[in-house]
Structure 1
């Protein structure tokens, strides 16, 4: 039977968990048949009720296996406090109205510490629940009492809990009671076609080393101090692909002189940007659930330099360059100087990255999730 899943974010929201949602359940190559919901942008109307939805192959369809999510117009989203539970009840009501409970065999819970998961638990209380743990879930649960409560509720209700790394399992057990028998280690994956047909790489035209940062600009991801240090190095150009509002805020707070801003790129454009640079910087300061951006970069032949935090260290290991970026700009300056003097080192790291990325095809992730879904329905 069909899966039901969703996140309480508008389409186009940045983040690896949203991209994984699209890869697994939406788009032309989706491997898991599912109905998916997201939040409608402010001031927009919700989609039509499910019984009136067009046939699966009709243009604009959001029937099972469609390439777009159903959009639910539910106001009042917040992170903490009594208003959060009011919002959850409204979202649960919208889900019940939009999706008939009899049509689904299993519920996939995403973002365990946010509104979509408790809403799904209330909308489909008798269905088997498969929980997929993403990094922001645990980070928010560690910092916010309401999110910790939601995480515990989700873990208690789920028949199986999927973590992409063992580091995630360790932190999960610290935050919510979860016996090992219900925890399954299934690594996230990247599109198979990216592994088989990566973009053509562009060689350097000059001597400068082309560095790239790609991702959110939250406190856990990067800071202006690092960007300024990298952009000020001799023989280096630094590009940043990040959400516009986050980049503007960081620039206004500290100034980002010498940084080339690329905008927030579409997935194909980001892959092409990977092929046009020499090194990706992943300076995460806290646990990463998996590191999809880093693995996608490796699939595109872009070597990765990273802060060896839990999750990333497990996924990347020695297929990338671990550097303690908290030690100050000297550490990255020495690494960049080494790579400029020894271009063959980049080729070696690139080859190791290709091999590492090949370990994580999306088809395997989907196959293992499907098998686990069938198991908990039995």
Structure 2
């Protein structure tokens, strides 16, 4: 275990969907991991979801009034700062990890622990919200100025970060996110089928930047293509109000292990993200499970997937993208080639390496 005590957190309710929440669980709440950490999230609306074996619960803070901009945002940050510092004494913390360069947890940690060195972890939503909301842009610039090091999972994130805030290359550290070693060692058994249907899976949030609506439009009514969506129920309902989803099989929001099992039941994962992804962990985990991936070649995904997956431009050339998908339906050898290249790509990103490199970086900045 690391001798450095890390404090980190997300101002999201425990149980919220998203890659940053899964990363928090993997790196900071695994009792057998190399990072010694205290972590916090917000109290959920209902009872806390059960944790997987070996996963600790973070401290759940009851801090109302979360918002993204305006004077009310800074009032919320003040309340969150008070709650965090009351829960975690200053003298017990060596290093602060900022899980986003935007949102409320980052300024709360910077204000509450000004003497502790900070390491910032860059996620895609940080940069998207900093571009859209002036308040979040202010938070990002404050975080960049304060952090000793800024961890990017892909070079594409470093390039986009430099567009939003001045930062020298000497403070940017490239540490890819990682796939659980247990998954790499023992992926779920794949389902064998004899039919010619191509079972396409979308897995993730249904916010505009994820491109799910465009994917539905492209695949609607195409013979031999069946689309399933693993996504939050409320977001699926909102999308169904503006799109015909009657032919889409909705799987709900799945646990990590349930999603891995769903990977084994499908033929192709499509990542149609419209803007950027910090890394695209869900795609790499799909590859680890033997599920071929097709993706919109946006920053982050290009770095993590490259030619191990099929680039599709659903936005600029949907007709050609659809032709390539139907080609995969009819060419199982091409799917097998993508499956093999995906396995090799996923093997480059063990979670244990991510954790070790973050632990080493924390020791360096202490």
Q: After TM superposition, is the score higher than 0.5?
A: yes
| Distance in 1, Cα, partners of 2:187 & 2:42 | 32
| Distance in 1, Cα, partners of 2:109 & 2:47 | 22
Can you list the C-alpha shifts for 1:329-362, whole angstroms capped at 9, x where unaligned? 4223211221122211111110000000000000
**1:190-201 residue pairs with structure 2 within 5 A?**
190-201=179-190
Moved over 3 A (4+): 27-31, 42-45
Q: 1:44 to 1:210 in 2, by over 3 A?
A: closer
Of residues 277, 292, 297 in structure 2, which corresponds to 1:288? Answer: 277
Shift of 1:42: 4.3
Equivalent residue number for residue 321 of structure 1: 310
Of residues 28, 32, 38 in structure 1, which corresponds to 2:41? Answer: 38
Normalised to the residue count of structure 2, the TM-score between the two structures is 0.95
Q: Is the 8 A contact 1:135 1:288 kept in 2?
A: yes
Can you list the C-alpha shifts for 1:210-263, whole angstroms capped at 9, x where unaligned? 100000001100243421331421111110010011000000112212111111
Determine if the alignment matches structure 1 residue 19 to structure 2 residue 19. no
Equivalent residue number for residue 95 of structure 2: 106
Instruction: Give ranges in structure 2 of 5+ residues lacking alignment.
Output: none
Determine if the alignment matches structure 1 residue 311 to structure 2 residue 303. no
Q: 1:44 to 1:213 in 2, by over 3 A?
A: closer
Of residues 132, 144, 159 in structure 1, which corresponds to 2:148? Answer: 159
Q: Is the 8 A contact 1:110 1:117 kept in 2?
A: yes
Q: How well do the aligned residues superpose, as a CA RMSD in angstroms?
A: 1.6
Equivalent residue number for residue 357 of structure 1: 346
Of residues 154, 157, 167 in structure 2, which corresponds to 1:168? Answer: 157
| Distance in 2, Cα, partners of 1:260 & 1:125 | 49
Determine if the alignment matches structure 1 residue 299 to structure 2 residue 257. no
Equivalent residue number for residue 208 of structure 2: 219
Of residues 244, 253, 271 in structure 2, which corresponds to 1:264? Answer: 253
Q: 1:108 to 1:344 in 2, by over 3 A?
A: same
Can you list the C-alpha shifts for 1:273-292, whole angstroms capped at 9, x where unaligned? 00100000100010110000
Equivalent residue number for residue 336 of structure 2: 347
| Distance in 2, Cα, partners of 1:42 & 1:84 | 20
**1:239-250 residue pairs with structure 2 within 5 A?**
239-250=228-239
Secondary structure in 1 aligned to 2:60? strand
Shift of 1:43: 8.4
Equivalent residue number for residue 6 of structure 1: 9
Normalised to the residue count of structure 1, the TM-score between the two structures is 0.92
| Distance in 2, Cα, partners of 1:220 & 1:42 | 26
Of residues 127, 130, 151 in structure 1, which corresponds to 2:119? Answer: 130
Instruction: Give ranges in structure 1 of 5+ residues lacking alignment.
Output: 46-59
Q: 1:111 to 1:5 in 2, by over 3 A?
A: same
| Distance in 1, Cα, partners of 2:291 & 2:64 | 41
- Answer 1 or 2: higher relative contact order, Cα 8 Å, separation at least 6: 2
Shift of 1:178: 1.0
Paired residues in the alignment total 359
| Distance in 2, Cα, partners of 1:285 & 1:189 | 23
Can you list the C-alpha shifts for 1:165-202, whole angstroms capped at 9, x where unaligned? 11111111111121111110111111110100100011
Q: Is the 8 A contact 1:2 1:106 kept in 2?
A: yes
| Distance in 1, Cα, partners of 2:78 & 2:195 | 58
